[in-house]
């Protein structure tokens, strides 16, 4: 099984901050959902991180989360990850 798509869905409840949901689709027809924490006015940055991290997920086994987290911290963030990245990772994981 491989991940085929990573989609970010932003929802504005009308008051307060936006909610960010992450939808992972696979070639086996299985869909996974996550929610990324975000602070007020930081949703654009969290969404951008998820979009950039998608390249490390598509065509990969969704069960290899440890490898993905290692790549996200070591290669993508070069060991200097900020809170926005951790928010994005929480939605993916």
pTM of the model: 0.83
Q: Kindly list the structural domains of the chain, giving each domain's residue range(s) and its CATH number in brackets, ordered by start.
A: 3-92 (3.30.390.10)
Please tell me the predicted confidence (pLDDT) of residue 10. Answer: 94
- The structure tokens listed for 84 are 């926005």
Average pLDDT over residues 7-23: 92
Q: Which helix H or strand E contains 24, and what residues bound it?
A: strand 19-26
CB atoms within 10 A of CB 73: 16
- The structure tokens listed for 93 are 């994981």
- The structure tokens listed for 75 are 């290669």
Three-state secondary-structure class, residue 27: coil
How much is the mean pLDDT over the chain? 90
Query: Does the pLDDT of residue 80 top 80, yes or no?
Result: no
Please tell me the predicted confidence (pLDDT) of residue 86. Answer: 82
């Amino acid at each position: 099984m491989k991940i085929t798509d990573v989609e970010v869905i932003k929802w504005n409840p009308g008051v307060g901050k936006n909610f960010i949901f992450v939808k992972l689709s696979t070639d086996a027809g299985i869909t996974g959902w996550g929610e990324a924490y975000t602070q007020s006015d930081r949703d654009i940055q969290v969404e951008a991180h998820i979009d950039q991290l998608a390249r490390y997920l598509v065509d990969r086994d969704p069960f290899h989360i440890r490898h993905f987290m290692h790549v996200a911290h070591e290669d993508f963030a070069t060991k200097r990850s900020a809170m926005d990245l951790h928010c994005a990772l929480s939605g993916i994981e």
